[in-house]
Amino acid sequence: MKICPDCGRELSFPDSVCPSCNKKVKKSFTIRDFLWENFRLFTLVGVTGTMISLIPNMGTRILGASWITGSENYLPFFLSIIIFFGTLFLTICFLMIVNLVLYGRRDEAVNNRITSGSGTLITWYEGDAQRCILLCCLVPMWFGLILFFIMLMPLIPNKLSWLFAAVIGLAVIPLFIFALLAWKISKTMMSKITGLEKYPRLRMVVFIVLVIGCLVLLSFAVFYVPDSTGPLSGTMEIRADQQYFSPHISSAKGLRLEIANISGQKIQSSRHTWTADYGYFIRVIPSTSAVTILGNPVHDDYFRDIYWTYSETYPERDKTPVKIEVHLYPRQGNEELASSSLYLTWYNNDIVFVNRSFEPSP
């Protein structure tokens, strides 16, 4: 049975006007009617998302794959701006959609009420079932879309783009969150402190500034890690992304090697050298698969990972194990902080095998 939201009388299913109070009962929410009435907003979301997704492909078709990797190129920076503000625009659109879904909910007929004592805990309106279905589709989609675009920005291999993503991630977003928390906390504190009624705007500004300052100081206290330039306490390792590799049969550009058991802060505050007694090292940009030959050895590298490979047309050689080493040094000075090695043994004439149990003969 439906219930009139004004007088509380039970209504039969065909009733559109309450026979008791003569008030018109609003038509319940349905997904079909909502999509038909607001298809323009959904079209706007789709067109914006598609535009953001097609811009990298258009740049690649016109300028080639290297346009996004050039350190002196401003186009990747503009791409980051488009991604961020396009994501902000999509967020506004999704919030408008959610607001429209919930709009007029209390004007519908009541199907059920869950009470506790003298109060009502939950009021279930006639269109709430379809509202829940639509919101369960829209909210995760919006959340995933926002996270995808925001996390994509730091992966653009351009210095200006990375700096823009760092400013957005480390300054703008936390400041926005802190401002919301400050507004909530200051609003609560104002209601409890007497004597400030004459200056409502001033007290609001003061409280917001104080709360933001406290939250910023708290974040520094939580995430502060003291820096050290001495030897590492842990054991640095070289970690490979696969056990077997061959440039003849593998689709990968090279064997990806990553420095493990060491913090990102230590990587950023130091430099390291890669050496191998066979083959050479390359750098691969994941977003474009562009390859830069680094040679062998590689000095003063600041990245956590690197790729090792060898020439397919290299003349026949003795298949002795390949030793790959990495040495970590401070930014200033030549005192070694840590080192690690990895051996690659030959599975056959063309395939190397990451052999961690190999021990070289003395």
Give per-residue pLDDT as tens, 131-150: 999 999 999 998 898 888 88
66 falls within a domain = yes
What average pLDDT does the chain have? 77
Q: Rounded CA gap, 128 and 136, in Å?
A: 12
Residue 26 is classified by DSSP as P
184 falls within a domain = yes
DSSP string, 238-261: EEES-SEE-TTT-SSSSEEEEEES
Q: Which residues 6+ apart lie within 8 Å of 322 measured at CB?
A: 276, 277, 278, 279, 343, 344, 345, 352
- Find the domain containing 185 and state its range: 168-223
What pLDDT score was predicted for residue 293? 87
- Do the beta carbons of residue 293 and residue 239 sit within 8 Å? no
Same domain, 203 and 311: no
331 falls within a domain = yes
* Boundary (domain end) residue, out of 110, 131, 157: 157
Q: Which of 90-104, 106-120, 127-141, 289-303 has the lowest mean pLDDT?
A: 106-120
Local confidence band at 121 (pLDDT 50, 70, 90 cut-offs): confident
| % of the chain exceeding 90 in pLDDT | 9
pTM: 0.55
Q: What is the CATH classification number for the domain harbouring 288?
A: 2.60.40
Higher-scoring residue by pLDDT: 71, 239: 239
Local confidence band at 65 (pLDDT 50, 70, 90 cut-offs): low
Number of compact structural domains in the chain:
3
Q: Rounded CA gap, 28 and 125, in Å?
A: 8
326 forms beta bridges with: 274, 340
Average pLDDT of 149-176?
77
162 falls within a domain = no
What pLDDT score was predicted for residue 194? 60
Same domain, 290 and 324: yes
110 forms beta bridges with: 3, 125
What pLDDT score was predicted for residue 349? 79
Give per-residue pLDDT as tens, 212-234: 666 666 655 554 444 444 444 45
Local confidence band at 114 (pLDDT 50, 70, 90 cut-offs): confident
